[in-house]
Amino acid sequence: MNWLTNFVRPKLRALVARKETPENLWLKCPKCEQMLFMRDWEANQEVCTHCGHHMRIRPLKRLPHLFDEGKYELHPLPKVPADPLKFRDTERYDARLKKAQAKAEGSTDALVVASGLMGNRMTVIAALDFGFMGGSMGTAVGEGLVMAAETAVARKAPLIVFSASGGARMQEGILSLMQLTRTTIAVRKVKEAGLPYIVVLTDPTTGGVSASFAMLGDIHLAEPDAIIGFAGPRVIQDTIRQELPEGFQRSEYLLEHGMVDTVVHRHKLRETLIRMVTLLMDPLVVA
């Protein structure tokens, strides 16, 4: 303890701290490690302005770029019993949920359902939110997807799903696994009504979501370089005891192997979706 440590050092620290750039002004691209000015990056739909890397964008940031004039109606998720198993790991599940909800700008779970005009046609979009507990699918997400499918059928509208998920919500045990069948039946209703069901696979789409509604689209689009698969590469490598090929489980690899129909840049998604829905709903009749 002396005058230097007690007095000079805190003063110096305060001086240095004040000159630091605010944290939320810049961010580093995880791919090319270039610094990005936050405002430019947001205006670019969260795609790196240097290397084109597509970062994980939350639904409420994505939706305005899809609907006509950025206008849409949000459909609140149906109410479901919170924490039916009274689950607890390092933290109580209901506490985890509340924390995620506080950060989610109004959404109550890992799915956002919206409807509005897209290319002047009523369209329903259901987008999973990886930022909300890893986009995991529990009862609320399942119910939300059923509601989205029913809304599409009632309004004779196409259903577009943006997938981004780590899989089933472990904290809901068997109830989360039941959503695999429920969502499968829900999207079948859309197909039976003769309406297009299109899936846009985004980074990452894995586990129970890729094992159900995310792989059942009439057409599968994917954002560039997204991880798409069921189990992670390390699990597969350890099971089959073989080196996995380069780019395994990435959008471009899946396109080459016939699992994805096309890989689309985020900036081109709106026009591509409008074109596909038009081709499916208003086919030209050749006399």
Which residues would be at the binding site for Zn ion (CB under 5 A)? Answer: 29, 31-32, 48, 50-51, 53
| Phi, psi for 8 (deg, rounded to 5) | -70, -45
Nearer residue to Zn ion within complex by CB, 31 or 92: 31
Give CA separation, 61 vs 37, 65, 66, 70, 242, in Å: 17, 8, 10, 10, 40
Instruction: State the amino acid at position 54 in one-letter form.
Output: H
CB of 29 closer than 8 Å to CB of 18: no
Nearer residue to Zn ion within complex by CB, 29 or 141: 29
| Phi, psi for 162 (deg, rounded to 5) | -105, 115
Nearer residue to Zn ion within complex by CB, 31 or 121: 31
- For 109, the enclosing helix (H) or strand (E) is none
Nearer residue to Zn ion within complex by CB, 32 or 279: 32
CA atoms of 287 and 284, how far apart (whole Å): 9
Q: How far is the CB of 29 from Zn ion (least distance, A)?
A: 3
